A and B are shown apart, each in its own frame.
Chain A
């Protein structure tokens, strides 16, 4: 059974650019959540999508957005990149609710220079 797949694994962008990250959840999983992981703050919740609808949103600025497609695949977009956006972005999927835990992907390491 394939796990959660995130692409690309590594990304280097320049300040002011925008970036799109992709996540393919485990087959049959309909909920996709995104987290930002940094050494100082740990994992911070960005948003959760379920059946193409954003169900929950964390405290990130509007530059961070996402969407989910009918096949449950999800994308996350960050516009007008800042140096502080450098982080590991993790996608996690679950069947319908994350009550019993997430399955995480290996993440996309974004570096903003």
Chain B
């Protein structure tokens, strides 16, 4: 069983839609959670960072962590064509070695 599971999609939504991206994990010791966005032929870039459980909002992006269910989510409001990318969740026990999901491919159609 993989440490982190992520639905690969692909996910296709119209511009302006709310997008929900999710990951589940098996290691209850994970306490650092991140979301990265990766455009084609580029390295991942950090979008959101959360520690332990709870919600965090940054502009159109909201990250949620539910440690009791071992489930994390990223919500994108008012999605834009420029949001079209692969989204990767990542998590860590110590903050020095991260386990990544395989990524969800998102396309926002104008």
Which of A40, A55, A98 sits near B98, CB closer than 8 Å? A98
Q: How many residues of A contact B (CB 8 A)?
A: 27
The interface stretch among B14-22, B41-49, B61-69 is B41-49
Q: How large is the interface on B (under 10, 10 to 19, 20 to 34, 35 or more residues)?
A: 20 to 34
The answer to whether B97 and A104 touch across the interface, beta carbons within 8 angstroms, is no
The answer to whether A58 and B46 touch across the interface, beta carbons within 8 angstroms, is no
Q: Name A44-96 residues within 8 Å CB distance of B.
A: 44-45, 48, 55-56, 58, 90, 92
Q: Which residues of B contact A (CB under 8 A)?
A: 6, 32, 34, 36, 41-46, 49, 88, 90, 92, 95-103
Q: A45-B99, A101-B46 are in contact. List 11 more A-B contacts (CB 8 A).
A: A43-B44, A43-B98, A44-B100, A56-B97, A98-B98, A101-B34, A102-B44, A102-B46, A102-B98, A104-B36, A105-B43
